[in-house]
Amino acid sequence: MASRVEETPDVARVNLANTLENIAKVIRPPPDAIMNWFCIMCQVSAVRLFQHWGVFDLIPVGRDGGISYADLAAKVDAETSLLYRVASMLTSTGVLQHVQPDKLAHTPISLLLRENEPMGSMFKVMYTNVLETSTILPQYFDTHGRKEPVDLNQIPATFLEGKPELSFFELLNQDPAKMKNFMRAMSITNRGRVPITGMYPMDDVIQAANAQASPAGAPIWVDVGGGGGHTVKTFCLTYPDLPAERCVVQDLPEVCKAAAEQAKEDEVLQNVTWVPIDFHKEPPIEGALIYYLRHIARDYSDAVLFNILFNIRQAMKRPDSKILIAEGLAPSTPPLPVYAAFKDYSMMAIGGKERSLEGFKSVIEAAGLELSAVYKDRDTPQAIIECSLPEHMYSTGAQALSTGDLMCNIPTTDVS
pLDDT in tens, 111-124: 999 999 999 999 99
Cβ-Cβ contacts under 8 Å for 89 (sequence gap 6 or more): 42, 43, 45, 46
The angle, 0 to 180 degrees and rounded to 10, between the axes of the packed helices 80-91 and 30-53 is 130
Q: Give the pLDDT score at 414.
A: 44
Is 53 part of any domain? Answer: yes
pLDDT at 46 over 90: yes
Whether residue 304 lies inside any domain: the answer is yes
- Amino acid sitting at position 398: A
Q: Is residue 198 part of a domain?
A: no
Mean pLDDT of 71-76: 97
Task: Please choose, from the candidates 416, 124, 175, 123, the residue with its C-alpha nearest in 3D space to the C-alpha of residue 298.
Answer: 416
pLDDT exceeds cutoff 80 at 9: no
Higher per-residue pLDDT: 99 or 136 = 136
The pLDDT of residue 195 is: 86
Q: Is residue 233 domain-resident?
A: yes
Q: Is the pLDDT of residue 324 over 50?
A: yes
Instruction: Determine, yes or no, domain membership for 396.
Output: yes
Q: Is the pLDDT of residue 411 over 70?
A: no
Task: Find the mean pLDDT for residues 300-329.
Answer: 96
Model confidence over 226-270: pLDDT tens digits? 988 999 999 999 999 999 999 999 999 988 988 899 899 999 999
- Check residue 396 and give its pLDDT: 41
Q: Where is the domain boundary, 190, 220, 243? A: 190
3-state helix, strand, coil in the chain (%, to 5): 50, 10, 40
Average pLDDT, the chain: 88
Which of residues 111, 136, 160 is at a domain's end?
111
Residue 392: the pLDDT is: 67
List, for residues 335-367, the tens digit of each pLDDT value: 888 888 999 999 999 999 999 999 999 999 999
Same-domain pairing of 253 and 281 = yes
Same domain, 357 and 322: yes
* pLDDT above 60: residue 137: yes
pLDDT for the residue numbered 217: 67
Residue 29: pLDDT above 70? yes
Q: What is the mean pLDDT of residues 267-293?
A: 95
pLDDT in the model for residue 211: 79
pLDDT of residue 400: 42
Q: Are residues 249 and 352 in the same domain?
A: yes
Q: Positive or negative CA dihedral for 399, 405, 406, 407?
A: positive
Residue 415 pLDDT class (50, 70, 90 cuts): very low
Interstrand relation of 103-106 and 67-68 (parallel, antiparallel or unpaired): antiparallel
Note the pTM of the prediction, 2 decimals.
Answer: 0.84
What is the average pLDDT across 25-31? 89
Q: Is the pLDDT of residue 403 over 60?
A: no
Alpha helices in 289-337 (DSSP H): 302-315
Quote the pLDDT of residue 208: 83
- Residue 307 and residue 212 in one domain: yes
% of the chain beyond a pLDDT of 90: 70
Q: How confident is the model at residue 8 (pLDDT cuts 50, 70, 90)?
A: low
What is the average per-residue pLDDT within 127-133?
96
pLDDT of residue 416: 40
The stretch 391-414 carries a mean pLDDT of 50
Structural domain range at position 78: 9-111
State the average pLDDT over residues 400-409.
48
User: Is the model more confident about 408 or about 358?
Assistant: 358
Number of domains the chain contains = 3
Q: Please indicate, yes or no, whether residues 29 and 169 belong to a single structural domain of this protein.
A: no
CATH of the domain at 243: 3.40.50.150
Which CATH number fits the domain that encloses residue 41?
Answer: 1.10.10.10
Q: In this predicted structure, what is the pLDDT of residue 215?
A: 57
pLDDT computed for residue 413 by the predictor: 43
| pLDDT at res. 393 | 62
pLDDT value at 169 more than 50:
yes
pLDDT of residue 166: 96
- Indicate whether 287 belongs to any domain: yes
* The one-letter amino acid at 8: T
Give domain status of residue 416, yes or no: no
Same domain, 277 and 298: yes
Q: Say if residue 79 is in the same domain as residue 31.
A: yes
Are 277 and 378 in a shared domain?
yes
**Domain contains 415:** no
Q: Which of 131, 166, 190 is the last residue of a domain?
A: 190
> CA dist 38 to 31, 32, 41, Å?
11, 10, 5
Residue 1 has pLDDT above 50, yes or no: no
* Helices 118-126 + 30-53 axis angle, to 10: 120
